[in-house]
Amino acid sequence: MNTYALLNAGRIIAGPGSIESINDVVADLGASKVLIITDKGVAGAGLIAKPQSLLEAAGVDVAVIDTTPPEPDVNQVNAILDAARPHAPQLVVGIGGGSAMDVAKIVAVLLKHDVALRDLLSGKAKIVARGLPTLMVPTTSGTGSETTPNSIILVPEDELKVGIVSPKLMPDGVILDPELTVGLPPAITASTGMDALCHAIECYTSKKGNPFSEMLALKAISLIAHSIRTAFNDGKNLEARHDMLLGAMYGGMCIATSSTTAVHALAYPLGGKYRIAHGISNAILLPFVMRFNIVGNEAKFRDIAQAMGLDVAAKTPQEASVAMIEALFALNRDLQIPADLKRWNITDADLDTLVEGAAKVTRLLDNNPRPMGKADIRAIYTQLI
């Protein structure tokens, strides 16, 4: 067995109302000037008002930048960096979904160190030291960015999302307050929740899987499979929202110790070129890629089926694997996630671009439990168009 490591975020506080602890975390990190990075949707939903007023009541100077776009590109992140500099913050708080948190994590580095974002994205430069301290407050339950060392940025001219991965991006604090997620609309609850489920299932079956990711992934799968339909149908159900936040964070922790695989690799060009939302493209691909992956990995799929709550006690590993794939298709149907890519008007003419785009993501494809070549990738996309 290879050695393995779990990189973890600093202090993690969870539970309904845990946002009230924000001053403890900020004081621990020694900051009296704080920059909150968020997006207009989160700010418009009133989710910044409480942390901002709690901080200001404690005498902390707070600036807010709410211009994080969905799927941020390198130019947009540089614009946020320029807007952040005059505030000279001592700590960066990311409040929102994956985009806001990823931007907060990278801006915290760029504010402290003189390095160009484009050079980090091209691999010309590396992050040499930690940036300003960071605190992550997720308002969706999907990305798990609060506990990953990743920041995903779009490079528009290449039509590709690039992941900057460095242990130095690991957040210093995390607050998981389910009360901040009760207003998340059903469609976003579904897509972000399925992204989290992908993280757990991919990391469990990844070649980089290890005892840490195995424990975290099975717990994440169980929490999400148990609660995603409830959170979708009844957004105000705090217990379901709490399960989803925990499941998403465990999924992020899985990424920090294992790796996602072919689902995320095949989703990359769908996001980069066709701008299909990350969670949607992953959710659509998940059952198709996992059906391909069953061969040789039946025992692991049986574990996943059990974690999903399927009654597979009397089934062979092969039968349990098939039941698990059927359950993933049913989950997508129940969550009103499209069954294929038809609505995006992707045709045979797009196949070469898609296959080439996915095949480039060797960082993830190399960890797929079953080798996946270009012909296999093409066969999977072909089933979806």
The residues binding Fe ion (CB under 5 A) are 195
Closer CB to Fe ion, 52 or 140, in the complex:
140
Smallest distance, Å, CB 375 to Fe ion? 25
Strand arrangement of the beta sheet that strand 33-37 belongs to: 11-14, 173-176, 134-138, 91-96, 33-37, 61-65
Closer CB to Fe ion, 282 or 321, in the complex:
282
Smallest distance, Å, CB 278 to Fe ion? 6
Closer CB to Fe ion, 198 or 304, in the complex:
198
Closer CB to Fe ion, 195 or 243, in the complex:
195
Smallest distance, Å, CB 302 to Fe ion? 24
Closer CB to Fe ion, 174 or 285, in the complex:
285
Closer CB to Fe ion, 52 or 181, in the complex:
181
Smallest distance, Å, CB 202 to Fe ion? 9
Smallest distance, Å, CB 195 to Fe ion? 4
Q: Residue with the closest Cβ to Fe ion?
A: 195
Closer CB to Fe ion, 144 or 173, in the complex:
144
Contacts of 369 (CB under 8 A, 6+ apart): 205, 206, 207, 261, 293, 296, 297, 300
Smallest distance, Å, CB 24 to Fe ion? 30
Nearest-angstrom CA–CA distance, 136 and 140: 12
Task: With CA atoms as reference, report the closest residue to 257 among 154, 144, 345.
Answer: 144
Smallest distance, Å, CB 180 to Fe ion? 20
Closer CB to Fe ion, 84 or 216, in the complex:
216
Smallest distance, Å, CB 275 to Fe ion? 15
